[in-house]
Amino acid sequence: MHRDHFYTLTASCPDRVGIVARVSGFIAEHGGWMLESSYHADDIDGRYFMRIEIKADSLPFDLAEFQRRFQPIATEFAMDWRVSDSAVKKRVVVLVSKQEHCLYDLLARWQSKELDIEIPCVISNHEDLRGVVEWHGIAFHHVPVAADSKDSAYDKVQQLFDDVQGDTMVLARYMQILSPALCRAYPGRIINIHHSFLPSFVGAKPYHQAYQRGVKLIGATCHYVTDELDQGPIIEQDVIRIDHSDSVEDMVRYGKDIEKTVLARGLRYHLDDRVLVHGNKTVVFR
């Protein structure tokens, strides 16, 4: 992966002739150097998707001016678009309950700079993982979630996320269902790891469900959170083969390894602006 300072332009729009020519022409006429480009046309929905990385110092203006000058093209093609700056680290707030494996993995990748992000805080409905979080020098917030006070708990979560200017919220085996209001507040910005190969075995204890069903493959799914449980757009999935000799406990153990890697990959795709959402589907430019 290159280390140049670059801007990432992502866009989707109704498919038609001339989109790539117009966008690439705009970049070229300003001396822009394209480091990477990806395109996809959805024939069924008639929609076009693109992702372009542009070397920042090849342009004669900054990000704000790029946005201003590109806006007429975006309007012309009715684009949903954004442009991000690789020099600005994304701020990721992690939500966790008692299971530590996904949190440990994210902290290790953060500490080694494999995930070059900022983690301003970790939020949990239990106190169990305070020690490990604070050992890493990260603020830990305990927000209990009781049956009769869920709305106020999620108001607090939203307040904490806004206070630290979070970009992305990651549910690293956070075993609570977020309120619809919280889900709707951050569309495409809340990522969950579900310990199942969705859409099979939604909800709690999917490995027990899989064991009872006698499946031969188990997996994990990284997806965006919506107000419909475990039904949000899927970012990444993976599976591992099992057989009749594997117990539920074996499946849980295998599953933890898959969950960590799938969450890390899905989060990286999101942070690198490689995921474009369309309806309940995603285009992922790997």
Residue by residue, DSSP assigns 13-59 as EE--TTHHHHHHHHHHHTT--EEEEEEEEETTTTEEEEEEEEEGGGS
Looking at residue 110, its pLDDT comes to: 98
**Sequence ranges of the domains in the chain:** 6-85, 92-284
Q: Is residue 217 over pLDDT 60?
A: yes
Which pLDDT belongs to residue 197?
67
Which of 64, 267, 81, 53 lies closest to 167, judged by CA? 267
Question: Count of alpha carbons within 13 Å of 144, Cβ hemisphere only?
Answer: 4
What does the pLDDT read at residue 228?
A: 86
Q: Residue 199's pLDDT is what? A: 61
Residue with tokens 């117990």: 247
Amino acid making up residue 225: V
Which residue, chain included where needed, has tokens 């790997």?
A: 286
What percent of the chain lies above the pLDDT cut of 70? Answer: 96
- pLDDT tens, position by position, 85-133: 999 999 999 999 999 999 999 999 999 999 999 999 999 999 999 999 9
Q: What is the pLDDT confidence band of residue 206, given thresholds at 50, 70 and 90? A: confident
How open is the CA angle 214-219-223, to the nearest 5 degrees? 135
Instruction: State CA 266 to chain mean position distance.
Output: 6
Is the pLDDT score of 9 beyond 70? yes
DSSP 90-109: -BEEEEE-S--HHHHHHHHH
**Cross-sheet strand order for the sheet of 190-194:** 139-142, 121-124, 92-96, 168-171, 190-194, 217-224, 234-241
Kindly give, in sequence order, each residue whose CB lies less than 8 Å from that of residue 276, ignoring residues fewer than 6 positions away: 10, 12, 49, 51, 282, 283, 284, 285
pLDDT attached to residue 251:
84
pLDDT of 68 higher than 70: yes
Residue 262, phi then psi, degrees to nearest 5: -70, -40
Residue 45 has pLDDT above 60, yes or no: yes
Rounded to whole angstroms, the Cα distance separating 22 from 9 reads 14
Phi, psi of 29 (to 5 degrees): -70, -15
35 pLDDT band, cuts 50/70/90, is very high
Q: Does pLDDT of 40 surpass 80?
A: yes
Tell me phi and psi for residue 211, to 5 degrees. -65, -45
Question: Which CATH number does 6-85 carry?
Answer: 3.30.70.260
Pick the CATH number of 92-284 from 3.40.50.720, 3.40.50.170, 3.10.100.10, 2.40.50.140: 3.40.50.170
| Residue 203 confidence (pLDDT) above 80 | no
**Residue 33 has what pLDDT?**
97
pLDDT of residue 216: 84
Residue 200: pLDDT over 90:
no
Instruction: Please give the mean pLDDT across all residues of the chain.
Output: 94
Between residues 240 and 206, the one the model is more confident about = 240
CB 102 within 8 Å of CB 172: yes
Which residues are identified as catalytic?
Answer: 230
Q: What is the pLDDT of residue 61?
A: 97
Question: At residue 2, does pLDDT exceed 60?
Answer: no
- Backbone φ and ψ of 252, nearest 5°: -60, -40
Q: What is the pLDDT of residue 43?
A: 94
Q: Please determine, for residue 141, whether its predicted confidence score (pLDDT) is greater than 80.
A: yes
Could you read off the pLDDT of 245-267 as tens digits, one per residue? 888 888 889 889 999 999 999 99
